[in-house]
Amino acid sequence: IVLLLATVTAVSAAPVTFSGRVVDEDGQPVAGAQVWLIRHVTDRWRSEGHLLGETQTDAAGNFLLPDVDIELDEAASRRFVAAYRPGLAVGWLNRRWQSEAVEIVLPPPPPLSGQVISEAGEGLAAVKIEPQRLTAVHYKPQRSYLLLPEVLMQRLAVTSDQQGNFTYPLDAA
């Protein structure tokens, strides 16, 4: 019988700074957009997003997420820089652990609407609908999905009206 004991420690790399600019479809800066750095954890048993950092764009649409600690054992995981402002779609780019400046485009969102109904077919009022995963279908170069961390699911949630209807003003870019 062989007994093997091992200790695994996460080693931090030098902090990384993520920066860039958020623009609309016409290339105009988007001031006041929320910008998030999200790490995807996907394995055999789970698939979820983790918020690593957040900031907001300035008047020129620029953002800076300084000194983000990236553990070396996580260097191969997927990281996304995502942005959102009400009235525009969520946009994102896969960044792995690279820190070069990026440009995120936020086009107008096509509305997403629906109705929450009971088994009897009646509309259900005051139901909270939280987005968990956004899929890019309109912005051809990225064709990817974004797993939202719990805190962002809650921030972007909508509630059904008296007839069970809801409209999401936020659809993925």
Q: Provide DSSP, 48-101.
A: EEEEEEEEE--TTSEEEEEEE--BGGGTTS-EEEEEE-TTS-BEEEE-TT--S-
Q: Reduced to 3 states, what is the DSSP secondary structure of residue 22?
A: strand
> Is the whole model's pTM more than 0.75, yes or no?
no
pLDDT value for 27 = 94
Bin 145: left if φ > 0, else alpha if -120 < ψ < 50, else beta. Answer: beta
The two three-digit tokens of residue 131, written as one number: 């987005």
Could you say which residues of the chain have pLDDT below 70?
Answer: 1-14, 41-48, 70-77, 95-99, 110, 135-144, 169-173
pLDDT value for 137 = 53
pLDDT value for 70 = 66
With vertex at residue 111, the alpha carbon angle to CA 102 and CA 138, rounded to the nearest 5 degrees, is 40
- Residues 6+ away with beta carbon under 8 Å from 152: 36, 38, 49, 51
